[in-house]
Structure 1
Amino acid sequence: MDSAKYLAAIDSLCARDLTAADGEPVPYGAGPGYRIESLEVSHGTRTGDVARRMATVEDFYALKSYIAQQLDDRWGRQRPLWGMGTLRVHSDRGEEIPEPWATTSSVADDLDLWQPPGSDRWIALGVGYRDSTDEVHVLAVASDIDPV
């Protein structure tokens, strides 16, 4: 695993101006105050064998855990694993969930979440796989919007 590549992408998210979307394509979105990027993406799991897809999901969870450990070592463990189920229930009830948390709750089951020391920004990692018509992604989220 190339942890330097993943940490460099997360460092870029930490430093990036999030006040406006810059028009650069991203898999799940960007907007004022947030950006969701794919650190790793599967190939051929959107229409293929379900067992292969779930094996990829397991591999991507292992990768997410590996990257999370690197961030824990850097910033300290900040939050327990954040389950997205409650946000999905609130959304189903018609409650407004701000981005990027609405999107991440629809594609991932949980997020690792940090607020780097001395920063107002939130950094999250998740595995996006709930949409079976999409590839599996290890997602990195940067947001100036407090998690709900």
Structure 2
Amino acid sequence: MDIAKDLALIDLLCARDFPGEHERYHTAWLGPGHWPDVSDCYAYEVALVEGLTRRHGEASRWGTVTLEQRIERGEAIPEPWGTLTALAIDVRTWIEPVSGRRITIAVADRDGESVPQPWLAVTESDPP
């Protein structure tokens, strides 16, 4: 579990060009991928949040319930926000000051059958 490595990845994705005109975001799974205990995943998320808060100030914290309701009504939610809604309920977002990109961290834990895993999205778009 290397917080410094994941923070460096976040820096890289904030600076890297996006893959294409219609794909204006980067996503990545964070952490080791296998947790000795589920609580270790949430502790890792806390450490990532602390590192990003030291760099960029307090995060905006929000939930995806409203986006989920909009999806259920048939509204198309742009990526990466649609995927984020499917993965997590609780989300934290910072704005990286140099690039202006949104850094969003969440633990993908909506699926009760899968092991929770921290997930990252870096994008130029605000949540819809």
Is structure 2 residue 1 aligned with structure 1 residue 4? no
Partner of 2:34: 42
Which structure 2 residue ranges, 5 or more long, are not aligned? none
User: What is the SS of the residue equivalent to 2:30?
Assistant: strand
CA shift for structure 1 position 134: 4.3
Structure 1 residue 132: deviation in Å? 4.4
CA distance in 2, matches of 1:119, 1:35: 14
Q: TM-score, normalised to structure 1's length?
A: 0.76
**Residues 101, 125 of structure 2: 8 Å contact kept:** yes
SS at match of 2:89: strand
Q: Which residue of 1 aligns with 2:43?
A: 62
Q: Counterpart of 1:34 in structure 2: which amino acid?
A: Y
Residues of 2 paired with 1:146 and 1:62: CA distance?
A: 27
Q: What is the CA distance between 1:19 and its match in structure 2?
A: 4.4
For residues 78-89 of structure 1, the aligned pairs below 5 Å read 78-79=59-60, 81-89=61-69
Which secondary structure does the structure 2 equivalent of 1:118 belong to?
coil
- 8 Å Cα contact 1:9-1:39 kept in structure 2: no
Q: Which runs of 5+ in 1 are unaligned?
A: 22-30, 44-51
Following superposition, the deviation at residue 120 of structure 1 comes to 2.5
Shift in Å at residue 103 of structure 1?
Answer: 0.3
- Superposed displacement of residue 146, structure 1: 1.8
Q: Is the 8 A contact 1:123 1:141 kept in 2?
A: yes
SS in 2 for 1:114: strand
> Displacement, 1:78?
3.8
Q: Distance in 2 between matches of 1:87 and 1:121?
A: 20
| Distance (whole Å) between structure 2 residues aligned to residue 6 and residue 114 of structure 1 | 15
Name the residue aligned to 1:47.
Answer: none
Q: CA RMSD in A?
A: 2.1
1:59: Cα distance to partner?
2.5
